[in-house]
Structure 1
Amino acid sequence: MKLRKVTAASATVFALALTATACGGDKNEGGGSGSGDGKTITVGIKFDQPGLGQKTPQGYAGFDVDVATYVAKKLGYNANQIEWKEAKSGDRETMLQRGDVDFIAATYSITPERQEKVDFAGPYLLAHQDVLVRADDNSIKSPADLNDKKLCSVTGSTSAQNVKEKLAPKADLQQYPTYSACLGGLQTKRIDALTTDDSILAGYAAQEQFKGKFKLGGFKMTNENYGIGVKKGSDLKDKINKALEDMVADKSWQKAVDKNLGPADYKNEPAPKIGDIKS
């Protein structure tokens, strides 16, 4: 009788061990392998940039989201296997270094300083610093016309400082907490222009409530090479580069631009060649 109890207990322990092993097989072993064997792949995007990366009641939307979804599919993951994680600007390098995400597509400009910390696939979009003005305002035709105008950007933005220091030193710089607040000021004529990357401006202007109310200046004041960030030394870089080339070749890239940024009459640059970083 005693022997039977021991045998039964051993059988129970063995069964539990098998169950634990089976459960462990479903755990994501790090989609960074790009094999699609893991259950999910974790991708960093912006949650608050309309037209690029935005969390909505219906899910996630924007150009960066479409690019990331296409890339993930090429890596072997369906859309429902993607775990989206918010990647705020100041957190992106840390998130990659810690392995919080497999890759980041979040208006992530490739710079020498960032390349020291992480690797980049791409670029997949060449954006430029620009201004957004009211559709009926024809007084701002060049950066110099921003002198004596009320220029808005978010608090701490380098974009506004770039304009004020290099292009329009007499601009009246207005710093608001969010781009949405700047847009509200632009709409009510409390400010005259909003500045940041043209892709970001186009995303905001493409929102349903703003369609037809604003226009881009088209000034191309800087080059912003958006790349997909991966952990330093990751083998995902080459795989993502191949996926980006496929996205351009099968026209999915242009369709994503038109869908997300086209309503703001965004004149996009042609898809950049992999590794071609414009200074």
Structure 2
Amino acid sequence: MKKFNVLLVLIFVLVISGCGQSSANEAESDDVIKIGSTPDGYPQVYSEDGEVKGFSADVYQEVFDRLGYEIEWSLTDWTGALASLETGKVDTLANFAVTPERQEKYNYTNPYYYSRAGLGVAQDNEDINSLEDVQGKRVANVTGSNYGDVLKAEDEGDEIELVNYDTMDVIISDVASGNMDAFVTGRETLLAQIQDKGIPLRVTEEAFGEKLVALPFAKTEKNDQLIEEINGALQEMREDGALSEISNEWFGEDVTVSAEE
């Protein structure tokens, strides 16, 4: 009988320990935000010497530090990053513009910056300086990027041929060599890449298609609560100047406010 009682006590202790371990794991998981991105999206999010850096990376770090979350990065190509968000392998995606189509699938935080599209051309290309100049031309776009849609929205006569690439490196090579006429992407981002990385392109003066950039989440009650927390942190960062400070460090200007206001 004593052996039986001892056995019951041991079983009880194991069950309690197991429950405690499970609860601890769940709590740990709740404190981690998995963010998907590409590893070469300088200056938004990029990997260097095993560390994730960039403007958006710095914004997220500040937001989630204030909220007490740890960030876990999942870096892959853009197609893989999108698939990870759709399948729930990551909680959200970095540098994701808000569009009506995307809002049908995801709920967004408030925007943390405003992206404008621009055209990159070869340094010796003096023929392309505006949207009008790429009518009848071939313009490169990264597959899955929203900038191709922004460009086509400006192309009322459907005269611009949009060519999708999987990676930005090949686009830069093709545009610089003249195999592709131009590259549509984030104007501020491309300016920073040319200045700091020596990319052999120049940016045309005309900017267009201002878009809100925010963090997308699957439409669940739990995520809606998280979105409220993130919005609160972003508002604090606007009020205390942290958001504009991060922007000026990366771009030399404040991209966290709308140019259309």
TM-score, length of structure 2 as denominator length:
0.77
Tell me the CA shift for residue 183 of structure 1. 0.6
**Structure (1/2) with the larger helix percentage:** 2
1:82 maps to which residue?
71
Aligned partner letter, 2:59: V
- Residues 156, 40 of structure 1: alpha-carbon distance in 2 compared, 3 angstrom cutoff: closer
Tell me the CA shift for residue 246 of structure 1. 1.9
- Residues 227, 163 of structure 1: alpha-carbon distance in 2 compared, 3 angstrom cutoff: closer
| Preserved contact between residue 134 and residue 187 of structure 1 (Cα < 8 Å) | yes
Tell me the CA shift for residue 182 of structure 1. 0.6
| Preserved contact between residue 36 and residue 81 of structure 2 (Cα < 8 Å) | no
Partner of 1:140, secondary structure, is coil
- Residues 117, 93 of structure 1: alpha-carbon distance in 2 compared, 3 angstrom cutoff: farther
User: Alpha-carbon deviations, 1:1-49, whole Å to 9, x = none?
Assistant: xx34323323322332232133123213486xxxxxx442333444442
- Residues 9, 158 of structure 1: alpha-carbon distance in 2 compared, 3 angstrom cutoff: closer
Tell me the CA shift for residue 208 of structure 1. 2.8
Unaligned runs of 5+ residues in structure 2 are none
User: Identity, % of aligned pairs?
Assistant: 23
The yes-or-no answer on 1:250 pairing with 2:240 is yes
| Preserved contact between residue 51 and residue 202 of structure 1 (Cα < 8 Å) | no
2:168 maps to which residue?
179
User: Alpha-carbon deviations, 1:194-219, whole Å to 9, x = none?
Assistant: 11232453464355353xx3332242
Partner of 2:214, secondary structure, is strand
Question: C-alpha root-mean-square deviation of aligned residues, in Å?
Answer: 3.4
- Residues 272, 26 of structure 1: alpha-carbon distance in 2 compared, 3 angstrom cutoff: farther
* 1:34-73 aligned within 5 A: 38-73=30-65
2:105 maps to which residue?
117
1:195 maps to which residue?
184
1:34 maps to which residue?
none
Partner of 1:222, secondary structure, is strand
TM-score, length of structure 1 as denominator length:
0.73
Aligned partner letter, 2:121: V
1:9 maps to which residue?
7
Aligned partner letter, 2:257: A
- Residues 237, 171 of structure 1: alpha-carbon distance in 2 compared, 3 angstrom cutoff: closer
- Residues 107, 40 of structure 1: alpha-carbon distance in 2 compared, 3 angstrom cutoff: closer
| Preserved contact between residue 150 and residue 174 of structure 1 (Cα < 8 Å) | yes
1:271 maps to which residue?
257
The yes-or-no answer on 1:144 pairing with 2:144 is no
- Residues 8, 160 of structure 1: alpha-carbon distance in 2 compared, 3 angstrom cutoff: closer
| Preserved contact between residue 143 and residue 167 of structure 1 (Cα < 8 Å) | no
| Preserved contact between residue 120 and residue 230 of structure 1 (Cα < 8 Å) | yes
The yes-or-no answer on 1:231 pairing with 2:218 is yes
